[in-house]
Structure 1
Amino acid sequence: METVVETLHMNKGAGETSYAMNSFVQRKIISLTNQATEKAIMEILCSKRRPITKMGIADLGCSSGPNALRVISEIVEAINATSSLLNHQAPKELMFYMNDLFTNDFNNIFASLPSFHKKIRQQKSNYNNGNIGSNCFVSAVPGSFYGRLFPTKSLHFVHSSSSLHWLSQVPCGLEDERGRGLNKGKLYISKSSPNCVLEAYLQQFQNDFSQFLESRSQEMINGGLMVLSFMGRKSKDPTSANCCYQWELLANALMTMVSEGLVKEEDVDSFNAPYYAPCFEELKIEIEKEGSFMVNSYETYEVDWDDGMELQSDDNDLLGRKMSSGERVAKTIRAVVESMLESHFGSHIMDDLFQRYAKLVEDHLSKTRTKYINLVISLVKRQ
């Protein structure tokens, strides 16, 4: 069986179903973290008696497409603006580490670096306090962030957006003694899921998030900051619609294919998404238990399933037809989860599956506006 490290990656390239062309919701979420990021940069630059000359910054789960380098551009802008405001010399060297799993489309990022450096030089011209444009180094660091990635005490700032809800593996304990799936007809936690399924998912999240914190605690300087955003939930109930209904509808689409003999029911029963949408209380427990970080700030945002998609310049399908909200949402979900579904069910059903999914989403949105819940948390490394 293939592992999450092998199968979890956003759709590559720049085609119609690629992540690069269908990551508007993620862009919206990144914009929601800007205020926390700017505040964190201000605190880092203010906390040192001497100006920082060299600054290590990591973006964990950077994925690919335009969002990846947008994050770095905004961080550089915040560093420039803050240094100018404080009348400090800006750091002479910024080392940006772009991290994602080995299967990530890093080539897409690298191809955009010339235009990125041009933008940085333009930003620099607005300030007179540093030599950032020619000393901004960007490198890729492939690997799982649920383990060590960087040298000890090498990072001042860590950013992660829309990534930490992905688990390191499918939770254990989701099959009976005969190897049959316990979460029947579902892909993720649902109202019909047995308690043992809910417990297995929570246990896996606790293990992973604790490992994430422990790894970063070794890599970050004392007083360094992290800004993390998750798909999460407000309710303590892990089956609440805001955190799992997109998976519910995807399971429903697959079960219609089961009823028509196009997909085997046992294949649906045996697929479990390596995903968990936590609530703040669950995050806080693990942060306090691990002990290396303090919560600096915390915000909860509601995001429409199709938020930001009105920014898409080409809102038509291949036939020139105006796409519905359901179709646009289906494309964003497909860009994220298709690699995992394809390895389990086969590539031959993907077009049919997501056409059915689009119709179910469209029907759902016509009745109610279920929203994603996005948690943004800022953590400071204890001295």
Structure 2
Amino acid sequence: MDMIEFFHMNGGIGDASYSTNSGLQGMGIMKTKGVIEQAVSDLCRSSVKFPKTLVMADLGCSLGPNTLLVGSMVIDAVAKTSLEMGFKSPQVQINLNDLPTNDFNTIFIALQDLQVNSTNGNINHQPACYFTGVPGSFFGRLFPMKSLNFVHSSYSLQWLSQMPELEEINKGNIYLSSTSPESVSRAYFEQFQKDFIRFLRCRSEEVMAGGRMVLTVAGRTTDDPRDEESNRLWRPFTMALQDMVYEGLVEEEKLDSFNLPQFTASPTEIMNLVKMEGSFEIDHLEIFYLNWDAWKGKKNMNDALSQLKETEDDGTVGHGVAKAIRAVIESLVANHFGEAILDDVFKRYGQIITNTRSESHDVVSITVSLTRKM
């Protein structure tokens, strides 16, 4: 399955778009705000000569308020650091990258608001900002040699470049579960290892010595990738598909041949792969948890962020999660099963989640801050 040809988040700004249904991902970015600001500040302060231009890349930027949020954090950190050091703010070049099927037009339309609001009114130290769209897979080279100062990626690197080749059928599953054969688990990890090392090697060629990266991924805390912790979001979707198989609406062979091209790594696996590749040093690694309630019926990221202090249940979590996950994987589901099942399967998915509210609904996130070795 060639991901680059069709995989994308739902575009636009409508009710079914990723832009409207990415509140949890926005909360994740807010959780990493301090790490991003520290990395940018350290980058500026560690330079032998204060940079005149800071070039960053946001890899897997998708679209919507989260994309603008990351850019504004970097711009503000540059402005604050330059003011504290008594230097004129450097120019900032922000390269927004995603697969060619990404809705870049919606991003570009929204960029004017970022330029106006990015420095909280600190006009005297506002960096001059330039934005570029860079379509392509981040598992390959995207930029000239030693051209980047800072790289950010949020909730993208858990997606594989392709589905691993499986020796055995992952019967009745769409992802790793306790019933998945060991060979399937091994194939998933080997594909992730290949992809992650390729990502690091490409960035090692593009990032200047001393440059920084901040990467956030959906991950796990357990050693076993088949542990339930990795399958909480996907088991209800499997159940929805299984119900449709029983009712004759989906062929069983179609279900058995559908596997999500994703791998939720552990902190140990990430640290070992960084060490194995050898081009970067880990400055900081942290684990945090986000609750699915961030998706419950929220219309924009600001509404979702309010739930950092508000967690009472309003009965809409299943509907909200179904919309959010549909905004992410609709292209995958439609490519494999066809568009005819989309409304039905995601409705069932939401109902199953609503009926299992007693179970843990936390998403494990891992953030790692790295420095390119000299």
Asked if TM exceeds 0.5, the reply is yes
1:171 to 164, 174, 177: 164
Name the SS for the 1:364 alignment partner. coil
Shift of 1:84: 1.4
Tell me, in whole angstroms, the C-alpha distance in 2 between the residues paired with 1:361 and 1:331.
Answer: 12
1:263 to 250, 269, 276: 250
- Give the count of matched residue pairs: 363
2:334 to 313, 319, 342: 342
Correspondence for 1:114: 112
CA contact (8 A) 1:232 1:279 kept: yes
Shift of 1:48: 1.4
Correspondence for 1:44: 43
CA contact (8 A) 1:4 1:168 kept: yes
CA contact (8 A) 2:297 2:317 kept: no
Shift of 1:125: 4.4
Superposed, which structure 2 residues align to 1:243-322 within 5 Å?
243-307=230-294, 309=296, 312=299
Tell me, in whole angstroms, the C-alpha distance in 1 between the residues paired with 2:172 and 2:356.
Answer: 19
Name the SS for the 2:366 alignment partner. strand
Tell me, in whole angstroms, the C-alpha distance in 2 between the residues paired with 1:143 and 1:368.
Answer: 38
CA contact (8 A) 1:27 1:308 kept: no
Shift of 1:310: 7.0
Shift of 1:311: 5.3
Superposed, which structure 2 residues align to 1:20-169 within 5 Å?
20-91=19-90, 93-120=91-118, 123=119, 125-126=121-122, 128-129=124-125, 132=127, 135-169=128-162
Tell me, in whole angstroms, the C-alpha distance in 1 between the residues paired with 2:192 and 2:238.
Answer: 22
Correspondence for 1:377: 368
Shift of 1:52: 0.6
Paired amino acid for 1:193: S
Correspondence for 2:308: none
Shift of 1:309: 4.6
Q: What value does the CA root-mean-square deviation take over the aligned residues?
A: 1.7
Correspondence for 1:194: 181
Alignment pair present for 1:360 and 2:352: yes
Name the SS for the 1:300 alignment partner. strand
Shift of 1:258: 0.2
Tell me, in whole angstroms, the C-alpha distance in 2 between the residues paired with 1:240 and 1:364.
Answer: 18
- Write the deviation string for residues 337-367 of structure 1: whole angstroms up to 9, x where unpaired: 11100111011111110111001111222x1
Give the TM-score of the pair, scaled to structure 2: 0.93
Paired amino acid for 1:150: F
- Write the deviation string for residues 93-115 of structure 1: whole angstroms up to 9, x where unpaired: 21100000010000110111222
Tell me, in whole angstroms, the C-alpha distance in 2 between the residues paired with 1:376 and 1:325.
Answer: 26
Tell me, in whole angstroms, the C-alpha distance in 1 between the residues paired with 2:315 and 2:222.
Answer: 33
Tell me, in whole angstroms, the C-alpha distance in 1 between the residues paired with 2:322 and 2:269.
Answer: 29
- Write the deviation string for residues 38-75 of structure 1: whole angstroms up to 9, x where unpaired: 11011101101321101110000000112111210111
Tell me, in whole angstroms, the C-alpha distance in 1 between the residues paired with 2:34 and 2:116.
Answer: 25
Shift of 1:245: 1.7
CA contact (8 A) 1:241 1:370 kept: no
Tell me, in whole angstroms, the C-alpha distance in 2 between the residues paired with 1:373 and 1:190.
Answer: 16
Tell me, in whole angstroms, the C-alpha distance in 1 between the residues paired with 2:78 and 2:195.
Answer: 31
Tell me, in whole angstroms, the C-alpha distance in 2 between the residues paired with 1:217 and 1:48.
Answer: 18
Shift of 1:308: 6.0
CA contact (8 A) 1:157 1:225 kept: yes
Shift of 1:89: 2.1
Tell me, in whole angstroms, the C-alpha distance in 2 between the residues paired with 1:310 and 1:341.
Answer: 22
Alignment pair present for 1:332 and 2:319: no
- Write the deviation string for residues 239-280 of structure 1: whole angstroms up to 9, x where unpaired: 222222211111110000000000000001111111000001
Name the SS for the 1:229 alignment partner. strand
Name the SS for the 1:263 alignment partner. coil
Tell me, in whole angstroms, the C-alpha distance in 2 between the residues paired with 1:359 and 1:25.
Answer: 20
CA contact (8 A) 1:242 1:370 kept: no
Paired amino acid for 2:198: Q
Correspondence for 1:179: none
Tell me, in whole angstroms, the C-alpha distance in 2 between the residues paired with 1:290 and 1:150.
Answer: 19
Paired amino acid for 2:92: L
Shift of 1:164: 0.4
Tell me, in whole angstroms, the C-alpha distance in 2 between the residues paired with 1:303 and 1:124.
Answer: 27
Tell me, in whole angstroms, the C-alpha distance in 2 between the residues paired with 1:149 and 1:114.
Answer: 25
Paired amino acid for 2:80: A
Paired amino acid for 1:62: C
Correspondence for 1:203: 190
Give the TM-score of the pair, scaled to structure 1: 0.91
Name the SS for the 1:301 alignment partner. strand
Tell me, in whole angstroms, the C-alpha distance in 2 between the residues paired with 1:283 and 1:152.
Answer: 25
